[in-house]
Chain A
Amino acid sequence: MARARGTDGSLLASLPWTLLALAFALLPHVPYLPAWITAALLACAIWRYSIEVRRKPVPPALLRASLALACFLGVLYTYSTISGVGPGSALLAIMAALKLLETRQRRDQFVLLFIAIFLVMSSLLREQYLWSLPYLVVGVILIMTAWLRTAADDLEPLRRSLGTSSRLILYAAPLALAMWIFFPRIATPFWAVPIDTGTAVSGLSDTISPGDISALSKSDAVAFRVKFDGVVPDPRDRYWRGLVLHRFDGRTWSGISEPRISSGALKNIQTAGEAVQYEVTLEPTRQHWIFALDIPYHWDLESTFLGPQHQLARVQPIDQRIAYKAVSYPDYRIDLELHPYRRGWYLEFPESRNPRTAELASSMRAAATSDEAFVRAVLKKFNEEEYHYTLEPPPLGSHPVDRFLFETRRGFCEHYASAFAVMMRAAGIPARIVVGYQGGELNPVGDYMIVRQADAHAWTEVWLPGSGWRRVDPTAAVAPERVDAGRTGAMFDGTAAAWGLGAPSRLLHNLVLTWDAANAKWNEWVLGYGPENQERFMNWLGMDDPDWRQMILTLVALVTGLTMLISLALMLRYRPPSRDKAAILYDRFVRKSGLKPATGETPRGFAVRAQRDSPLPADSVRSITDTYLDVRYGPPDPALLRRLEVDIAAL
Chain B
Amino acid sequence: MHSGSPLEKTPLGKNAGRQALERACAALGGIILDKDRQIALALACLLARGHLLIEDLPGLGKTTLAQALAKVLGLSYRRIQFTSDLLPADIVGVSVFRRDSGKFEFQPGPIFAQLILADEVNRATPKAQSALLEAMEEHQVSVDGDTRTLPVPFFVVATQNPADQIGTFPLPESQLDRFLMRLALGYPNAENERELITGEDRRSMLESVTPEMTPEILTTLQQDAAKMHMSEHLVDYIQALVRQTRESPDIEIGLSPRGAQALAAAARAHAFVERHSGVFPDDVQAVFTAVAGHRLKPAGNTSFRSPAEMCQHVLDSVAIP
Cβ-defined contact, A633 with B285, below 8 A: no
- Find out whether the CB atom of B276 lies under 8 angstroms from the CB atom of A634: yes
How many interface residues does chain A have, given as a range?
A: 10 to 19
**Interface residue tally of chain B, by bracket?**
10 to 19
Within 292-321 of B, Cβ neighbours of A (below 8 Å) are at 315-320
Closest Cβ of chain B to A413, distance in Å, is 78
In the complex, chain B residues whose CB is within 8 Å of the CB of A602: 280-282, 285, 320
Contact of B320 among A579, A600, A634 (CB under 8 A): A600
Q: Tell whether A403 is near chain B: CB-to-CB under 8 Å.
A: no
Which residues of chain B come closer than 8 Å to A601, judged between CB atoms?
A: 320
Q: Is A590 an interface residue (CB 8 A)?
A: no
**B23 at interface, CB cutoff 8 A:** no
- Contact in complex: B278, A633 (CB < 8 Å): yes
Closest A residue to B279 by beta carbon equals A633
Contact call B231/A579, Cβ cutoff below 8 A: yes
Contact in complex: A599, B280 (CB < 8 Å): no
Q: Chain A residues near B233: list those with CB within 8 A.
A: 579, 632-633
Provide the bound-state CA to CA distance between A630 and B231, in Å: 10
How close is B282's CB to chain A, nearest CB, in angstroms? Answer: 5
> Is A377 in the interface zone, CB < 8 Å from B?
no
When chains A and B are docked, how far (Å) is the Cα of A579 from the Cα of B229?
Answer: 14
Give A569-606 as 1s and 0s: 1 = Cβ < 8 Å from B's Cβ atoms.
00000000001000000000000000000111111110
A 93-138 contacts with B by CB, 8 A: none
Give the distance to chain B from A581, nearest Cβ to Cβ, in Å: 13
**Chain B, 250-291, CB within 8 A of any chain A CB:** 276-282, 285
Instruction: Verify if A230 is at the interface (C-beta below 8 Å from B).
Output: no
- The interface bits of chain A over 632-645 (1 if a CB of B lies within 8 angstroms of the residue's CB, else 0) are 11110000000000
Contact of B231 with A600 in the complex, beta carbons under 8 Å? no
Is B89 part of the contact surface with A, judged by Cβ < 8 Å? no
Contact A600 B316 (CB under 8 A): yes
Instruction: Pick from B280, B316, B318: contact of A633, CB below 8 A.
Output: B280
Question: Do A635 and B277 touch (CB < 8 A)?
Answer: yes
Q: Is B234 an interface residue (CB 8 A)?
A: yes
- Of B229, B234, B281, B316, which contacts A599 at CB under 8 A? B316
- Quick check: B277 and A633 within 8 Å, CB to CB? yes
Q: Does A162 contact B (CB under 8 A)?
A: no
Q: Chain A 598-628, CB within 8 Å of chain B: the 1/0 string?
A: 1111111100000000000000000000000
Q: Is the CB of A634 within 8 A of B278?
A: yes
- Cα–Cα, bound, A632→B318 (Å): 18
Whether A634 lies near B319 (C-beta < 8 A) is no
Q: A513 at the A/B interface (Cβ < 8 Å)?
A: no
A599 CA / B315 CA spacing, docked (Å): 8
Q: Cβ of A556 < 8 Å from any Cβ of B?
A: no
Q: Is A33 an interface residue (CB 8 A)?
A: no
Decide yes or no: A634 and B229 within 8 Å by CB, A599-B318, A600-B315, A629-B276 being known contacts: yes
Q: Give the chain B neighbours of A632 by CB distance below 8 A.
A: 231, 233
- Of chain B, the residue at the smallest CB distance from A634 is B277
Q: Nearest residue in B to A632 (C-beta to C-beta)? A: B233
Give CA–CA (A602, B233) in the complex, Å: 13
Closest to A582 in B: B233
CA–CA, A190 and B233, complex, Å: 59
| A605 to B315 CA separation, bound complex (whole angstroms) | 13
**Is the beta-carbon distance between A604 and B280 smaller than 8 angstroms?**
yes
Least Cβ–Cβ distance between B82 and chain A, in angstroms: 38
> Could you tell me if A630 and B320 are in contact, using CB atoms closer than 8 angstroms?
no
Shortest Cβ distance from B244 into A: residue: A600
- Measured in the bound complex, the distance between the Cα atoms of B320 and A603 in whole Å is 9
CB distance from A625 to the nearest CB of B (A): 10
By beta carbon, the residue of chain A nearest B315 is A600
Taking a contact as CB atoms under 8 Å apart, the answer to whether A600 and B278 are in contact is no
Query: Which chain B residues lie closer than 8 Å to A635 at the CB level?
Result: 229, 277-278
B317 and A630: CB pair below 8 A? no
Give Cα A635 to B232, complex, Å. 11
Q: A579-B231, A633-B277 are in contact. Are A599 and B282 (CB under 8 A)?
A: no
Given contacts A602-B280, A602-B281, A604-B280, whether A633 and B317 have CB atoms under 8 Å apart is no
Complex CA distance for A316 and B285, rounded to whole angstroms:
82
* Chain A residue at minimum C-beta to C-beta distance from B313: A600
Q: Which residues of B contact A599 (CB under 8 A)?
A: 316-319
Q: Measured between C-beta atoms, what is the minimum distance from A273 to chain B in Å?
A: 85
Rounded to whole Å, the gap between the CB of B269 and the closest CB of chain A is: 15
Q: 1/0 per position for A403-419, CB-CB distance to B under 8 A?
A: 00000000000000000
Residues of chain B in range 207-231 having any CB-CB distance to chain A below 8 Å:
229, 231
Residues of chain B contacted by A604 (CB below 8 angstroms): 280, 282
A603 to B233, CA, bound (A): 14
Give bound CA distance, A603 to B278, whole Å: 14
* A633→B319 contact, CB < 8 A: no
- B281's contact among A579, A603, A634, by CB below 8 Å, is which? A603
CB < 8 Å neighbour of B316 from A598, A629, A630:
A598
- Report Cα–Cα, A300/B317, bound state, in Å: 83
Give the residue name and chain of the B residue nearest to A605 (CB). B282
Contact across chains for B317 and A600 when beta carbons are under 8 A apart: yes
Closest to A579 in B: B231
- Residues in A with CB closer than 8 Å to B285 are 600, 602
User: How far, in angstroms, from A580 to B238 measured CA to CA in the complex?
Assistant: 18
A630 touches B315 (CB 8 A): no
B contacts, CB < 8 Å to A: 229, 231, 233-234, 276-282, 285, 315-320
The 6 closest A-B CB pairs, nearest first, are: A634-B277, A634-B278, A633-B278, A602-B281, A600-B316, A630-B277
Can you list 30 A-B contacts (CB < 8 A)? A579-B233, A598-B316, A599-B318, A599-B319, A600-B285, A600-B315, A600-B316, A600-B319, A600-B320, A601-B320, A602-B280, A602-B282, A602-B320, A604-B282, A629-B280, A629-B282, A630-B278, A632-B233, A633-B229, A633-B233, A633-B276, A633-B277, A633-B279, A633-B281, A634-B229, A634-B277, A634-B278, A635-B229, A635-B277, A635-B278
Given A600-B285, A602-B281, 9 additional A-B pairs, CB 8 A: A579-B233, A598-B316, A599-B316, A603-B281, A603-B320, A604-B282, A629-B277, A630-B278, A634-B229
